[in-house]
């Protein structure tokens, strides 16, 4: 059967993080117990800062929200400074009224990572659907840690990180500290099961990935292009990330 494809909504603005925080705030005004899918990485830091400001000013509350993060490094326990669990604690839980018991990430230190991936997928299925999935994008077009070559029907699983992603992410590790080789990530089908998706990209380093995503056909070499199969995707881009869009 032919793919039914849609064109994502695209908004280009100087402060996409603020727009993302506002979308989340509007959802939580309507549905305080909404289920959020969250991402980590540098692009998300200003989003979580805005959300923290909103909570501090009592303009928004995460108290009743359940969250599922996209991914976690295999081998890093939650307390490890470079774990995504630690990132979320530092940037969101400690800065807001979020209930840490409702924050979920795969356990990077689980003795059986494949079983952990299956457990995480089942938990999302049980507590979902995710109302709003926040995404960043890798310079190589990855979403979550679905690297080029990831199938569109993939679910939460253990993946090997590409040399490029490990190089890109080395900036978050101490000099000389090894970057993990594997991660547990939601799959592309897991991500596409969210009711709506907000993808944020900033900086010229993401311009090529955004242009490839919009090329028109979902392709495994640009995993983000599978988003064309979802009806409610909003791309929030700064002018640099949007600079190679052809139309």
Cite the active site residues.
71, 140, 142, 147
**Does residue 96 contact residue 51 with C-beta atoms inside 8 Å?**
yes
Q: Nearest to residue 16, comparing CAs of 154, 148, 203?
A: 203
Closest to ligand F6R by CB, 96 or 140: 140
What backbone torsions phi and psi does residue 104 show, to the nearest 5 degrees? -120, 135
Question: Measured between alpha carbons, how far is 193 from 125 in angstroms, rounded to an integer?
Answer: 9
CB of 71 to ligand F6R, least distance (A): 5
- Three-state DSSP state, 21: helix
Q: Which residues are near ligand F6R by CB under 6 A? A: 39-43, 70-71, 84, 136-138, 142-144
Please, which residue, 54 or 223, has the CB nearer to ligand F6R?
223
Q: What is the C-alpha to C-alpha distance for residues 47 and 44, in angstroms, rounded to an integer?
A: 5
Are residues 123 and 131 in contact, defined by beta-carbon separation less than 8 angstroms?
no
- For ligand F6R, which is the closer residue by CB, 20 or 70? 70
Closest approach, Cβ 22 to ligand F6R, in A, equals 19
User: To the nearest whole angstrom, how small is the minimum distance from the Cβ of residue 129 to ligand F6R?
Assistant: 19
User: Nearer to ligand F6R by C-beta: 32 or 100?
Assistant: 100
CB of 38 to ligand F6R, least distance (A): 8
Pairing of strands 132-135, 71-73: unpaired
Report the side by side order of strands in the sheet with 182-185.
71-73, 182-185, 157-160
Give, in order, the Cα–Cα distances in Å from 141 to each of 35, 149, 164, 211, 230.
Answer: 25, 11, 11, 10, 17
Q: Which is nearer to ligand F6R, 137 or 159 (CB)?
A: 137
Nearer to ligand F6R, 91 or 102 (CB): 91
Q: What is the nearest approach in angstroms of ligand F6R to the Cβ of residue 136?
A: 2
* Nearest position to ligand F6R, beta carbon: 136
User: Rounded CA gap, 25 and 48, in Å?
Assistant: 11
Least spacing, CB of residue 190 vs ligand F6R, in Å: 12
How far lies 134's CA from each of 3, 33, 77, 247, in Å? 24, 16, 23, 25
Angle formed at CA 187 by CA 240 and CA 145, multiple of 5 degrees:
45
């Amino acid at each position: 059967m032919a793919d039914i494809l849609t064109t994502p909504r695209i908004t280009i603005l100087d402060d996409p993080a603020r727009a993302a925080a506002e979308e989340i705030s509007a959802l939580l005004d309507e549905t305080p117990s909404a289920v959020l899918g969250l991402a980590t990485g540098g692009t998300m830091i200003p989003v979580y800062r805005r959300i923290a400001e909103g909570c501090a000013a009592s303009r928004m509350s995460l108290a009743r929200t359940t969250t599922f993060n996209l991914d976690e490094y295999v081998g890093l326990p939650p307390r490890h400074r470079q774990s995504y669990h630690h990132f979320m604690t530092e940037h969101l839980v400690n800065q807001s009224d979020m209930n840490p018991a409702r924050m979920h990430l795969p356990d990077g230190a689980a003795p059986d990572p494949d079983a952990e991936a299956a457990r995480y997928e089942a938990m999302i299925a049980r507590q979902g659907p995710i109302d709003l999935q926040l995404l960043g994008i890798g310079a190589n077009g990855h979403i979550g840690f679905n690297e080029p070559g990831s199938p569109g029907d993939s679910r939460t699983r253990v993946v090997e990180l590409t040399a490029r992603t490990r190089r890109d992410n080395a900036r978050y590790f101490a000099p000389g500290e090894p970057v993990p080789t594997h991660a547990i990530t939601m799959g592309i089908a897991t991500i596409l099961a969210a009711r709506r998706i907000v993808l944020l990209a900033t900086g010229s380093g993401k311009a090529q990935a955004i242009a490839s995503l919009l090329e028109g056909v979902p392709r495994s070499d640009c995993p983000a292009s599978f988003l064309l199969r979802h009806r409610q995707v909003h791309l929030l881009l700064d002018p640099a990330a949007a600079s190679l869009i052809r139309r």
